[in-house]
Every structure is written in C-alpha cells, then in structure tokens.
Amino acid sequence: MALRSMTNDKHELRTSAGFASAYDTHARSILIFLARRTYDPETALDLTAETFAQAFEARRRFRGSTEEDVAAWLFGIARHILSRYLRRGKAERRALTRLGVEVPSLEPDDLVRIVELAGLDRLRGAVSCHLDALPEAHREALRLRFGTALGAADRRAAGASTIGRCLLFRRGPLAPS
C-alpha cells in the first residue's frame, strides 16, 4: 500500500497498515543513514528500531501530507535518536559493562550486509586516506578527542598503520583483516 497525499487527520501513516508501508519504504534508508554516522552496524540497527518505535508511538501526531513529509519526519526522529545516543552512549555502555549485561549481537552475515548497504568500507577508506594526509599533530588531536577503539597491541595485530584507521575500525567483521 503506497502512502498517498491526504489531509493531516487522515494520513495513512496514522494507521497500522500505513505505518507498515512507511516502514517498508524507509527502514533501509534510515538504517544506512545511521550506519554511516555510527560506523557500527549493530548500533545502527538498534537506533533504526528505536526510530521506528518512537515514530509508531507518535504516529497520531504526524502532521504531514506527502511521502516527502513522512521521510522528513522519520529522518528527524532518527537524527534526534542518534543525537541522544551520542550524548548518553558512553554512560550507558559503562553501566552495561558494570552490571555485566550482555547485549545480543547480530550474526556476522547481517553485519557484513549492513556494511555493504551503507558503503562503510568505501567511506572508511576515504576517511583513512584523508586522516593519513593530516599532520601528525592533527591526527593525535583527533585520537585524544575521540579515543581509539583498539589498544596499541590490538592495532599492531590488526595491521593498522595509522591512528586514523584505529578510530574507524572497531572489532569483529569490521576490523581490517
């Protein structure tokens, strides 16, 4: 069922079937949007789920009338969710670790598929090249500001030759081979 232009009070997004159609239409692009900003497929998938959960709860307040309005509304929610995640993420991850809570993870094939869809390998390569071109002091400033996902021994084991690569490659299937 395609969403069609309607008055605000009767937009199909406000129904379960209309919302399902909006999910089918926009979930992939929201996932790619978030994966390109987090560089982490699992996090992107979680944030995508949260985006649509909040959109579902707020669907009766949707005031748009076109497909473009639906897309803008969903991406606005996704941006808000991402912003909140970035602000609260560090504290939450520390709490989960402290409590010993194990967060379920995606299967390796799913991770690889999200990396493919979002073009993260290409983006990582481009960012890595640009980081390599920076003066050492600038790379060090980035490392100090954003930290590194891997320790020195892990960087050597992964074959990462610059701080920039260590910032971008985290773990598992996303790490360089």
Q: Smallest Cα–Cα separation from 55: which of 77, 33, 22?
A: 77
Where in the sequence of the chain do the CATH 1.10.1740.10 domains occur?
Answer: 8-99
User: How far is Cα 3 from Cα 24, in angstroms, rounded to an integer?
Assistant: 11
Contact (CB, 8 A) for 34 and 78: yes
> Using one digit for the tens of pLDDT, what is the confidence trace for 91-141?
777 788 888 888 777 788 888 888 888 888 888 888 788 788 888 877 766
pLDDT averaged over every residue in the chain: 75
> Using one digit for the tens of pLDDT, what is the confidence trace for 4-21?
444 445 678 888 888 889
DSSP assignments along 82-129, one per residue: HHHHHHHHHHHHHHHHHHTPPPP---HHHHHHHHHHHTHHHHHHHHHH
The full length of the chain comes to: 177
In CATH, the number for domain 8-99 is 1.10.1740.10
- Alpha carbon dihedral 149, 170, 143, 163, in 10-degree steps, equals 120
Confidence of residue 78 (pLDDT cuts 50, 70, 90): very high
User: How far is Cα 52 from Cα 42, in angstroms, rounded to an integer?
Assistant: 16
Question: What pLDDT is stored for residue 95 in this prediction?
Answer: 81
Ramachandran quadrant class, 130 (left: phi over 0; alpha: psi -120 to 50; beta: rest): alpha
Contact (CB, 8 A) for 111 and 172: yes
